[in-house]
């Protein structure tokens, strides 16, 4: 190279050839994931609420000797009733056994 070579020329000469990008491999879903029997054929319905409201809801459920899920089902059915829809959610819990 001559002393008057431009910076672009020097950079192009000293730059290595670009490497080929690594192939993209899709992650496989785990094959050993087990769904609890109480969740079979169900879907989750949830929301985010202030911590004090969540705590009060849990206390109310405990006072009524219900799971949070049972109390939620009752509340959702009340909303259905308010809007003239048939109750659609069975008020049960798969976690607690009833005597």
pLDDT, tens digit (0-9, with 9 covering 90-100), for 68-84: 999 999 999 999 999 99
Q: What is the mean pLDDT of residues 16-44?
A: 75
| Residue 38 DSSP label | G
pTM for this structure?
Answer: 0.58
Q: Give residue 3's pLDDT.
A: 62
Query: Which residues are CB-contacts of 60 (< 8 A; sequence separation ≥ 6)?
Result: 71
In the chain, domain spans: 58-89
Spatial contact of 91 and 65, defined as CB atoms under 8 Å apart: no
């Amino acid at each position: 190279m001559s002393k008057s070579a431009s910076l672009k020329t020097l950079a192009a000469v000293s730059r290595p050839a670009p490497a080929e990008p690594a192939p993209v491999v899709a992650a496989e879903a785990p094959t050993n994931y087990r769904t609890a029997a109480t969740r079979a054929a169900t879907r989750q319905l949830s929301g985010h609420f202030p911590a004090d409201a969540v705590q009060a809801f849990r206390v109310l459920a405990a006072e009524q000797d219900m799971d949070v899920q049972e109390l939620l089902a009752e509340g959702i059915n009340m909303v259905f009733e308010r809007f003239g829809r048939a109750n659609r959610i069975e008020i049960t819990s798969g976690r607690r056994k009833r005597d």
